[in-house]
Structure 1
Amino acid sequence: MTDGQREAEGRAGTVRPRSPRRHRVMQQGRIVLGPDTLLPCVVRDLSPAGAKIVLSRPIPLPASFDLVIAAHDLRTVSVRLRWQRGEVAGVRFAPAGDPAP
Protein backbone atom coordinates (compact mmCIF):
# COMPACT_ATOMS: atom_id res chain seq x y z
CA MET A 1 0.00 0.00 0.00
CA THR A 2 1.42 3.43 -0.93
CA ASP A 3 1.37 6.54 1.28
CA GLY A 4 -1.50 8.00 -0.74
CA GLN A 5 -3.52 4.81 -0.22
CA ARG A 6 -2.98 4.51 3.53
CA GLU A 7 -6.13 4.53 5.57
CA ALA A 8 -6.77 6.00 8.98
CA GLU A 9 -9.22 4.67 11.47
CA GLY A 10 -11.86 7.21 12.52
CA ARG A 11 -13.26 7.73 16.01
CA ALA A 12 -16.24 5.48 15.43
CA GLY A 13 -14.01 2.71 14.13
CA THR A 14 -14.82 3.49 10.51
CA VAL A 15 -12.03 3.45 7.98
CA ARG A 16 -11.56 6.52 5.80
CA PRO A 17 -9.01 7.23 3.07
CA ARG A 18 -6.05 9.44 3.96
CA SER A 19 -5.96 12.96 2.55
CA PRO A 20 -3.99 13.52 -0.67
CA ARG A 21 -0.23 13.59 -0.14
CA ARG A 22 1.13 16.92 1.10
CA HIS A 23 4.36 18.50 -0.10
CA ARG A 24 6.45 20.73 2.13
CA VAL A 25 6.95 24.09 0.48
CA MET A 26 7.87 27.61 1.52
CA GLN A 27 6.03 29.94 -0.84
CA GLN A 28 4.93 33.50 -0.29
CA GLY A 29 1.18 34.01 -0.11
CA ARG A 30 -1.38 36.74 0.37
CA ILE A 31 -4.79 36.34 1.97
CA VAL A 32 -7.36 38.55 0.28
CA LEU A 33 -9.66 40.00 2.95
CA GLY A 34 -11.19 42.70 0.77
CA PRO A 35 -10.53 44.82 -2.31
CA ASP A 36 -7.84 46.83 -0.50
CA THR A 37 -6.75 44.38 2.22
CA LEU A 38 -4.06 41.76 1.67
CA LEU A 39 -2.55 39.84 4.57
CA PRO A 40 0.90 38.29 3.98
CA CYS A 41 1.42 34.64 4.83
CA VAL A 42 3.71 31.72 4.04
CA VAL A 43 2.37 28.55 2.42
CA ARG A 44 4.13 25.66 4.21
CA ASP A 45 2.38 22.47 3.04
CA LEU A 46 0.59 22.06 -0.26
CA SER A 47 -1.56 19.25 -1.65
CA PRO A 48 -4.07 19.02 -4.50
CA ALA A 49 -6.83 19.49 -1.89
CA GLY A 50 -5.48 22.31 0.26
CA ALA A 51 -2.62 23.96 2.13
CA LYS A 52 -1.22 24.88 5.51
CA ILE A 53 -0.50 28.59 5.88
CA VAL A 54 1.42 30.53 8.52
CA LEU A 55 0.66 34.14 9.43
CA SER A 56 3.12 36.51 11.11
CA ARG A 57 0.75 36.79 14.10
CA PRO A 58 -2.54 35.20 15.18
CA ILE A 59 -5.35 36.89 13.26
CA PRO A 60 -8.83 35.31 13.08
CA LEU A 61 -9.56 34.34 9.48
CA PRO A 62 -12.98 34.28 7.80
CA ALA A 63 -14.65 31.00 6.82
CA SER A 64 -13.77 31.55 3.15
CA PHE A 65 -11.37 33.81 1.27
CA ASP A 66 -9.07 34.00 -1.75
CA LEU A 67 -5.44 32.99 -1.36
CA VAL A 68 -2.76 34.28 -3.74
CA ILE A 69 0.19 31.86 -4.01
CA ALA A 70 3.49 32.96 -5.55
CA ALA A 71 5.23 29.86 -6.92
CA HIS A 72 6.53 29.33 -10.46
CA ASP A 73 3.53 31.38 -11.43
CA LEU A 74 1.13 33.63 -9.54
CA ARG A 75 -2.22 31.99 -8.89
CA THR A 76 -5.28 32.90 -6.90
CA VAL A 77 -7.45 30.16 -5.40
CA SER A 78 -10.68 30.29 -3.40
CA VAL A 79 -10.28 28.46 -0.09
CA ARG A 80 -12.35 27.40 2.91
CA LEU A 81 -10.87 27.58 6.40
CA ARG A 82 -10.72 24.08 7.93
CA TRP A 83 -8.89 24.86 11.18
CA GLN A 84 -6.79 27.55 12.82
CA ARG A 85 -4.45 27.37 15.81
CA GLY A 86 -2.86 30.72 16.54
CA GLU A 87 -0.89 31.86 13.50
CA VAL A 88 -1.15 28.49 11.68
CA ALA A 89 -4.20 27.54 9.61
CA GLY A 90 -5.33 24.75 7.30
CA VAL A 91 -7.37 25.56 4.21
CA ARG A 92 -9.16 23.46 1.61
CA PHE A 93 -9.32 24.53 -2.01
CA ALA A 94 -12.90 25.25 -3.08
CA PRO A 95 -14.12 23.53 -6.25
CA ALA A 96 -14.55 25.87 -9.22
CA GLY A 97 -17.96 27.51 -9.14
CA ASP A 98 -18.50 26.60 -5.48
CA PRO A 99 -20.35 29.50 -3.85
CA ALA A 100 -18.99 30.86 -0.60
CA PRO A 101 -20.85 29.58 2.48
Structure 2
Amino acid sequence: MTEKPLLPARMFDPWPRIPVDTSEGSDFHRLDRIAGNAATGWALGPEGAYAQNLTLAEVVDGAVREALLHLLELGLIDIDSQRMHAAPGWPTHRERTTP
Protein backbone atom coordinates (compact mmCIF):
# COMPACT_ATOMS: atom_id res chain seq x y z
CA MET A 1 0.00 0.00 0.00
CA THR A 2 1.10 3.55 -0.67
CA GLU A 3 2.40 5.54 2.30
CA LYS A 4 -0.19 8.06 3.42
CA PRO A 5 0.90 11.71 3.32
CA LEU A 6 0.75 13.83 6.45
CA LEU A 7 -2.57 15.44 7.25
CA PRO A 8 -2.90 19.17 6.65
CA ALA A 9 -2.07 21.26 9.71
CA ARG A 10 -5.15 23.48 9.50
CA MET A 11 -8.64 23.36 8.10
CA PHE A 12 -8.76 24.43 4.44
CA ASP A 13 -5.03 23.74 3.92
CA PRO A 14 -4.43 21.60 0.82
CA TRP A 15 -5.03 17.90 1.47
CA PRO A 16 -2.25 15.81 -0.12
CA ARG A 17 -3.60 13.12 -2.44
CA ILE A 18 -2.45 9.53 -2.84
CA PRO A 19 -1.87 8.43 -6.44
CA VAL A 20 -4.36 5.76 -7.55
CA ASP A 21 -3.95 3.45 -10.52
CA THR A 22 -7.37 3.49 -12.20
CA SER A 23 -6.38 1.54 -15.31
CA GLU A 24 -8.42 -1.44 -16.45
CA GLY A 25 -7.45 -4.54 -14.49
CA SER A 26 -6.09 -2.53 -11.54
CA ASP A 27 -7.27 -3.19 -7.99
CA PHE A 28 -9.19 0.09 -8.10
CA HIS A 29 -10.92 -0.97 -11.31
CA ARG A 30 -12.01 -4.25 -9.67
CA LEU A 31 -13.29 -2.44 -6.54
CA ASP A 32 -15.10 0.06 -8.73
CA ARG A 33 -16.95 -2.76 -10.49
CA ILE A 34 -17.87 -4.47 -7.19
CA ALA A 35 -19.09 -1.19 -5.66
CA GLY A 36 -20.88 -0.18 -8.85
CA ASN A 37 -22.75 -3.46 -8.99
CA ALA A 38 -23.81 -3.10 -5.34
CA ALA A 39 -24.99 0.47 -5.94
CA THR A 40 -26.88 -0.49 -9.10
CA GLY A 41 -28.48 -3.42 -7.31
CA TRP A 42 -29.69 -1.07 -4.59
CA ALA A 43 -30.99 1.51 -7.07
CA LEU A 44 -32.97 -1.08 -9.03
CA GLY A 45 -34.09 -3.11 -6.00
CA PRO A 46 -37.24 -2.86 -3.89
CA GLU A 47 -35.64 -0.40 -1.42
CA GLY A 48 -33.92 1.67 -4.07
CA ALA A 49 -34.31 4.80 -6.08
CA TYR A 50 -36.90 3.63 -8.60
CA ALA A 51 -39.15 2.05 -5.99
CA GLN A 52 -39.07 5.11 -3.73
CA ASN A 53 -39.16 7.91 -6.32
CA LEU A 54 -36.13 9.57 -4.71
CA THR A 55 -34.47 12.87 -5.58
CA LEU A 56 -31.11 12.80 -7.33
CA ALA A 57 -29.34 13.72 -4.07
CA GLU A 58 -31.06 10.83 -2.27
CA VAL A 59 -30.12 8.46 -5.10
CA VAL A 60 -26.46 9.47 -4.92
CA ASP A 61 -26.36 9.23 -1.11
CA GLY A 62 -28.06 5.83 -1.15
CA ALA A 63 -25.86 4.41 -3.90
CA VAL A 64 -22.63 5.61 -2.27
CA ARG A 65 -23.77 4.26 1.11
CA GLU A 66 -24.65 0.87 -0.36
CA ALA A 67 -21.36 0.62 -2.27
CA LEU A 68 -19.21 1.62 0.72
CA LEU A 69 -21.10 -0.65 3.08
CA HIS A 70 -20.70 -3.59 0.68
CA LEU A 71 -16.93 -3.06 0.36
CA LEU A 72 -16.54 -2.66 4.15
CA GLU A 73 -18.60 -5.79 4.88
CA LEU A 74 -16.45 -7.79 2.46
CA GLY A 75 -13.29 -6.51 4.18
CA LEU A 76 -11.98 -5.06 0.92
CA ILE A 77 -11.58 -1.55 2.38
CA ASP A 78 -10.97 -0.28 5.91
CA ILE A 79 -11.79 2.96 7.68
CA ASP A 80 -8.71 4.71 9.05
CA SER A 81 -10.52 6.03 12.14
CA GLN A 82 -7.35 7.42 13.70
CA ARG A 83 -6.58 9.51 10.59
CA MET A 84 -10.21 10.57 10.19
CA HIS A 85 -10.46 11.82 13.77
CA ALA A 86 -7.02 13.47 13.69
CA ALA A 87 -7.83 15.61 10.64
CA PRO A 88 -8.75 19.26 11.24
CA GLY A 89 -11.44 18.91 8.57
CA TRP A 90 -12.13 17.06 5.36
CA PRO A 91 -12.43 18.30 1.81
CA THR A 92 -15.93 17.55 0.60
CA HIS A 93 -15.17 18.07 -3.08
CA ARG A 94 -12.73 15.91 -5.00
CA GLU A 95 -9.95 17.70 -6.80
CA ARG A 96 -9.97 16.54 -10.40
CA THR A 97 -6.48 15.48 -11.40
CA THR A 98 -7.37 13.34 -14.39
CA PRO A 99 -9.56 14.11 -17.39
Normalised by the shorter chain, which TM-score bucket? under 0.3
Between structures 1 and 2, the one with greater helix share: 2
Greater relative contact order: 1 or 2 (C-alpha under 8 angstroms, separation 6 or more)?
Answer: 2
TM-score, normalised on structure 1?
0.26
TM-score, normalised on structure 2?
0.26
Between structures 1 and 2, the one with greater strand share: 1
